[in-house]
Structure 1
Amino acid sequence: MLDKVFTNNQVTIAGRVVGEFGYSHTVYGEDFYTVDIEVSRLSNSNDIIPVMVSERILDVRADYRGYVLRANGQFRSYNRHEETRNRLVLSVFAREVEIVEPEEEEQDPNHIFLDGYVCKKPVYRKTPLGREIADVLLAVNRPYGKSDYIPCICWGRNARYADQFEVGAHVQIWGRIQSREYQKKISEEEYEKRVAYEVSVSKLEYQSDEEEM
């Protein structure tokens, strides 16, 4: 059972470190820190992705800015309470990590596989230029009854396909993690710049649980 839980959320990612490690939290005496890495896209733009690392697998006190961090792990979420509402916070939880010289990394990998369940009806829409998009929120199980809630975005034919999914549909997704800046309205006259993280879907498949049984 645990093997299935650990394989239903798999991430391989690498990118240039663009900041220092910052303390996140402590679990059973083990401290965890986050750092931002800059991951290149084929379009020559970049995504800034937060990676969470245990102090036990890397010297988080060192300054790695300019180096490339490679990590294998999972894409995880938790709710951070802010004033009167909860905010979904996402990061790559690293199980294995390596720091390498920039010239050793020819291309920044950014791959994710998710096996989970649709937890709200997908939202299908078209952009002003006619591009088809569907937003899917996927619940991916974790050990001890926990789940990660991962926002995913589908394009074109995948968007039309995702629009057919009902809440509770079992889906497998392949894609990449991307970041997106947006303006959060704080008051009638005040906006705050924030960054959202989501999975850009390149492939998705509906899973029939009856067939698996």
Structure 2
Amino acid sequence: MMTSECCNDIVLEGKVLAAPAPSHENHGVHFFRFFLEVPRLSGQADTLPVLIPEPMVQQVCQGETVRVRGQLRSFNNRSGVGSRLVLTVYGQEVLPPCGEAANHIALTGSLCKAPIYRRTPLGRTICDLMLAVPRRYGRTDYLPVIAWGQLAQQVRSLSTGARICLEGRLQSRIYQKVTESGTEERVAYEVSMMRLESQHEDL
């Protein structure tokens, strides 16, 4: 059960698709990136990006199954035209697998945009949220969350600034982006809400 304090905890277990590759350096620490293939109950799989510090690289080998504990982080990629929100799982622990696929995230944060409520072409109700989750040292992660059905109905009327606690899973989604140079295939990552623990409007 989550508390009202800031919460950003994720656990993934899946197959390492390729050996970790160098990503960047921060405060003298080298970071490496790899992708974890995490099966869904439907038989499909999510391909999720994981970032780890160099001392953990030896614990990750291509083709092996690992369990990763950490946080979901966001940053703005300004390398192209405009800015784009990039999500990455920051691995704080790499553990031996437990033998079952895992994809669980717990978040507590505040809505930084009004919810967007809509229906899919098949008639399913859906609500898009943007959750601001503070880190301990002052920065904030901005994390997209999607709610379906009854959960979408529960959160559709929340106001900007409302504080919510939720549990869900991190999923990947391929979409087509139209640019000046043509249509590009891109991958988006978002939290699919499975349970709403609590909610209240900030005064």
TM-score (norm 2): 0.91
The 10-residue stretch of structure 1 (90-99 or 42-51) with the greater mean CA deviation from structure 2:
90-99
> What percentage of aligned pairs have identical amino acids?
40
Length, aligned pairs only: 201
What runs of 5+ residues in structure 1 fail to find an aligned partner? Answer: none
Aligned in 2, Cα 1:208/1:133: closer, same or farther, shift over 3 Å?
Answer: closer
CA deviations over 1:156-199 (Å, ceiling 9, x no partner): 01101111111000011100000000011112x71111100000
1:98-137 equivalences under 5 Å are 98=95, 105-137=98-130
Could you tell me which of 145, 151, 159 is aligned with 1:158?
151
Equivalent residue number for residue 14 of structure 2: 15
Equivalent residue number for residue 201 of structure 1: 193
For residues 167 and 5 of structure 1, the distance between their equivalents in structure 2, rounded to whole angstroms, comes to 18
1:145-184 equivalences under 5 Å are 145-184=138-177
Aligned in 2, Cα 1:5/1:66: closer, same or farther, shift over 3 Å?
Answer: farther
Equivalent residue number for residue 31 of structure 1: 30
For residues 158 and 198 of structure 2, the distance between their equivalents in structure 1, rounded to whole angstroms, comes to 8
For residues 170 and 205 of structure 1, the distance between their equivalents in structure 2, rounded to whole angstroms, comes to 11
| Cα distance, 1:210 vs structure 2 | 7.5
Structure 2 letter corresponding to 1:162: V
For residues 197 and 209 of structure 1, the distance between their equivalents in structure 2, rounded to whole angstroms, comes to 27
For residues 99 and 193 of structure 1, the distance between their equivalents in structure 2, rounded to whole angstroms, comes to 34
Kindly indicate whether the alpha-carbon contact (under 8 Å) linking 2:68 and 2:94 is maintained by their aligned counterparts in 1: yes
Identify, as 1 or 2, the structure richer in helix.
Answer: 1
What runs of 5+ residues in structure 2 fail to find an aligned partner? Answer: none
For residues 56 and 198 of structure 1, the distance between their equivalents in structure 2, rounded to whole angstroms, comes to 28
Provide the alpha-carbon RMSD of the alignment.
2.2
Equivalent residue number for residue 92 of structure 1: 89
| Cα distance, 1:106 vs structure 2 | 2.9
TM-score (norm 1): 0.87
Equivalent residue number for residue 70 of structure 2: 73
